[in-house]
């Protein structure tokens, strides 16, 4: 049995053939046609040369866009590295080890000074413990925030962001 429509439309292929050729679903073919990447099917058939040319153009544009996005990421990384080097030359960066030593010194000083505050205010041990508990919690938060910021500082990022 001969398909009369295939004979009447030389150079065209059916939706099923186009789907198989391009390894796409019929729905994806319609989406590409609606977006103007490939010609729309006429009576359920696609013109083969325009279909292939349109799909290849679509793929090439996608590859170029992906390359541009990758290039933008590389450019951002290079710009970040240049900023870090400039800041280092201008002595705007703090060595992470120095910051860590200063934090340890500060934390120890604050703890020695503030932990005994409850006992210096009252002789009641329960009340002294009640005073010291939120102070200790605040000092623990201070140490935890520094520990969270330290990796950013090591990378050269803003530790306060």
Return the DSSP state at 37.
S
Q: In the prediction, which pLDDT does 29 show?
A: 92
Cα separation, 39 vs 58, in Å, equals 12
* Beta strand extents in 15-113 (DSSP E only): 45-47
The tens-digit pLDDT sequence of the chain (161 residues) is 445 544 567 889 999 999 999 999 999 999 999 999 999 999 999 999 989 999 999 989 888 887 776 667 777 778 888 877 776 666 555 677 887 888 888 888 888 888 888 888 889 999 989 988 998 999 999 899 888 888 887 777 777 77
Cα separation, 108 vs 68, in Å, equals 51
The encoded tokens of residue 89 equal 């030359």
Cα separation, 121 vs 127, in Å, equals 9
Quick check: 150 and 159 in contact, CB under 8 A? yes
* Beta strand extents in 32-98 (DSSP E only): 45-47
Q: In the prediction, which pLDDT does 1 show?
A: 41
The encoded tokens of residue 144 equal 């935890």
The encoded tokens of residue 22 equal 């391009």
| pTM greater than 0.85 | no
Q: Residue 157: name the closest of 84, 82, 86 by CA.
A: 84
- The SS3 of residue 26 is helix
């Amino acid at each position: 049995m001969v398909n009369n429509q295939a004979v009447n439309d030389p150079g065209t292929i059916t939706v099923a053939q186009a789907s198989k050729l391009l390894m796409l679903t019929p729905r994806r073919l319609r989406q590409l046609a609606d977006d103007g990447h490939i010609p729309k099917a006429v009576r359920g058939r696609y013109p083969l040369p325009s279909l292939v040319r349109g799909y290849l153009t679509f793929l090439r544009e996608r590859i170029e866009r992906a390359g541009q996005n990758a290039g933008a990421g590389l450019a951002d990384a290079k710009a970040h590295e240049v900023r870090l080097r400039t800041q280092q030359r201008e002595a705007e960066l703090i060595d992470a080890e120095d910051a860590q030593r200063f934090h340890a010194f500060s934390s120890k000083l604050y703890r020695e000074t503030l932990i005994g505050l409850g006992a210096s205010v009252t002789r009641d041990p329960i009340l002294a413990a009640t005073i010291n508990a939120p102070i200790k919690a605040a000092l623990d938060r201070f140490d935890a925030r520094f520990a969270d910021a330290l990796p950013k500082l090591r990378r050269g990022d803003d530790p306060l962001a």
